[in-house]
Amino acid sequence: MQIDTPVFLRLAEKAKSLCFFDIEASGLRGDYNSVLVVSIKPYGSKPITFSVKQVGNDQKVVRDAKECLESFDAWCGYYSKGFDRPMLDTRLLKWGQKPIEKRPHIDMYYTLKSNLLTARRSQGHLLSWLDTPESKMTVGADVWASMSTNFDKNMKLMIERCESDCAGLESLYERTKHLIRDINR
């Protein structure tokens, strides 16, 4: 039996089995960089956040994030098929863990890229253009560059940004979910 996408989304929302997720990492490649923060926001609820105590030591964070993500029936991210999920899987491999089990995975970047004709495709631009209640939090280059030397102060900003991205993602989803036609793993 096959279920229509809008029906599946309504069921996942009602069951609180849909989550929004985002990560912050020390860089773009899992062999040279590591995960700093993972936020997972159940639909309509507050985010669950996992963060490292030291840059490079993300073993517990990625393992806990994997377990949390696998407790949901569907995920939603922004460029999460291109970065967040592969980065988590790369870091899990580093620590001898299996990759995250597949689930229906909505990537709003690809959904909106194929359905809208906007000048920019960033989550921040779309949130602003659609005048959603949430906006994209920016973090300056100096914060990223000084993660190791100013860890406690900068980690608070990274956690705030990650949770903010999940809230923005949920707002973006609410405004554009009618454009979601298929959900792939």
Q: Decide: helix, strand or coil at residue 17.
A: coil
Q: How many helices (H) and strands (E) does the chain have?
A: 7, 5
Measure the CA–CA gap between 108 and 116, rounded to whole angstroms: 11
- Whose CA is closest to 106, among 140, 145, 74, 147? 74
Burial 131-143 (b: 16+ CB within 10 A, else e): ebebebeeeeeeb
β-pair type (18-25, 105-107): unpaired
The pLDDT value given to residue 35: 98
Tell me, yes or no, whether 184 lies in a domain: no
Range(s) of the domain holding residue 24: 5-179
pLDDT of residue 135: 87
What is the Cα 13 distance to its own chain's centre? Answer: 17
Among 174, 7, 3, 8, CA closest to 105:
8
Amino acid symbol at 123? Q
How far apart (Å, rounded) are the C-alpha atoms in residues 63 and 114? 33
pLDDT of residue 148: 86
Does 136 fall in a domain?
yes
Q: What average pLDDT score do residues 36-44 get?
A: 98
Residue 185 located in a structural domain: no
- Give the ranges where the chain is alpha helix by DSSP (H): 5-14, 59-69, 85-94, 108-115, 123-129, 141-145, 151-176
Question: Residue 131: inside a domain, yes or no?
Answer: yes
Asked if residue 125 belongs to a domain, the reply is yes
Closest alpha carbon to 9 in 88, 101, 75: 75
pLDDT average, residue stretch 113-120 = 95
Count: domains in the chain: 1
Distance from C-alpha of 132 to C-alpha of 63, rounded to nearest angstrom: 33
> What's the pTM?
0.95
CATH of the domain at 83: 3.30.420.10
Decide if 75 is inside a domain: yes
Do the domain assignments include residue 146? yes
Question: Across residues 59-76, what is the average pLDDT?
Answer: 98
